[in-house]
């Protein structure tokens, strides 16, 4: 039988993290994000602050959320990398609006970003691919058939071993021609929401 866990008792005291005026670093949402993100990178126990939840919803109106890495951000948007052939890639093709959520538990903060997603150009795509460490580039090729069912872990291990061998003496890993990256490019002020626990801050 499933053991019951006392969920209410798990909540921590959010008053220990009162929102002070000093938490506002900037009027520009992207600069505010930058300040919070930098704080999250130095806060204890956050792990990887660059992980975010990406929610997409295709024409079936069934939202799907999953974790992805933030690969870059500036005034033009928030960049993440994925495979067009994945479920999220298909959903974004049907409906380009997506939502990103950062949650930094120890700081009791979340940031929600809503916007339209665009594909990177071929050139941007290739540049991005080659800024990743080589093992990531190989991993990208290994997991190319993202969201599809595989027979076992071995399939991926074999694929990785073959690719490593194939590229052993080759300096540049070639990205899949149909492997692309996606970017939230059209950022406006209302696209970013900064929240602390249940209380909305901006
Ligand atoms: C820690 C972590 C980081 C991940 N980062 C990415 C990422 O940057 N891009 C990506 O496409 N999938 C990433 N994934 C895998 C996704 O969460 C997801 O399982 C996969 O993209 C397939 O999603 P989909 O079938 O909804 O398209 C990551 C998973 C974990 C656990």
Q: What is the mean pLDDT of residues 98-110?
A: 93
Query: For the chain, what percent of residues have pLDDT higher than 70?
Result: 88
- Poorest-confidence range of 29-43, 90-104, 157-171, 180-194? 180-194
**Quick check: 79 and 181 in contact, CB under 8 A?**
yes
Residue nearest to atom 18 of ligand 1 (CA): 66
pLDDT surpasses 90 at 38 = yes
193: pLDDT confidence band, cut at 50, 70 and 90? confident
What is the whole-number distance in angstroms between the Cα of residue 65 and the centre of ligand 1?
10
Q: Phi-psi region for residue 72, left (φ > 0), alpha (ψ -120 to 50) or beta?
A: left
The b-or-e profile of 83-95 (16+ CB within 10 A means b, else e) is bbbbbbbebbeee
What pLDDT score does 20 carry?
66
Residue nearest to atom 29 of ligand 1 (CA): 67
What is the whole-number distance in angstroms between the Cα of residue 182 and the centre of ligand 1?
13
Query: What does the block give as tokens for 16?
Result: 């220990």
Render pLDDT for 124-181 as a digit per residue (tens, 0 to 9). 888 888 888 898 889 888 877 767 788 888 988 998 999 999 888 888 888 876 667 7
**56 CA: nearest ligand 1 atom:** 26
Average pLDDT, the chain: 85
State pTM to two decimals. 0.83
From residue 13, how far is each of 16, 82, 184, 186 by CA, in Å? 6, 37, 34, 37
The winner for highest mean pLDDT among 3-17, 28-42, 182-196 is: 28-42
What pLDDT score does 56 carry?
96
Residue nearest to atom 3 of ligand 1 (CA): 68
**Ligand 1: residues whose CB is within 6 Å?**
51, 64, 66-69, 80-83, 86-88, 146-147
Query: What does the block give as tokens for 22?
Result: 């000093």
Residue nearest to atom 31 of ligand 1 (CA): 67
H or E element in which residue 71 lies: none
Render pLDDT for 50-94 as a digit per residue (tens, 0 to 9). 999 999 999 999 999 999 999 889 988 898 888 888 899 999 999
């Amino acid at each position: 039988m499933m053991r019951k866990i006392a969920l209410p008792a798990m909540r921590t005291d959010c008053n220990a993290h009162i929102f002070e005026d000093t938490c506002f670093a900037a009027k520009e949402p992207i600069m505010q994000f930058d300040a919070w993100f930098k704080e999250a990178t130095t806060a204890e126990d956050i792990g990887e602050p660059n992980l975010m939840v990406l929610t997409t919803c295709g024409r079936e109106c069934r939202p799907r959320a999953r974790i992805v890495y933030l690969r870059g951000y500036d005034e033009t948007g928030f960049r993440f990398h994925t495979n067009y052939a994945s479920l999220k890639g298909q959903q974004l093709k049907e409906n380009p609006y997506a939502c990103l959520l950062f949650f930094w538990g120890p700081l009791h903060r979340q940031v929600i970003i809503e916007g339209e997603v665009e594909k990177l150009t071929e050139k941007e795509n290739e540049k991005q691919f080659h800024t990743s460490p080589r093992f990531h580039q190989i991993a990208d090729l290994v997991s190319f058939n993202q969201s599809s069912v595989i027979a076992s872990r071995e399939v991926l291990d074999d694929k990785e071993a073959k690719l490593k061998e194939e590229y052993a003496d080759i300096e540049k890993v070639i990205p899949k021609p149909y492997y692309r990256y996606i970017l939230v490019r059209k950022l406006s002020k209302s696209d970013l929401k900064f929240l602390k626990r249940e209380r909305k801050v901006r």
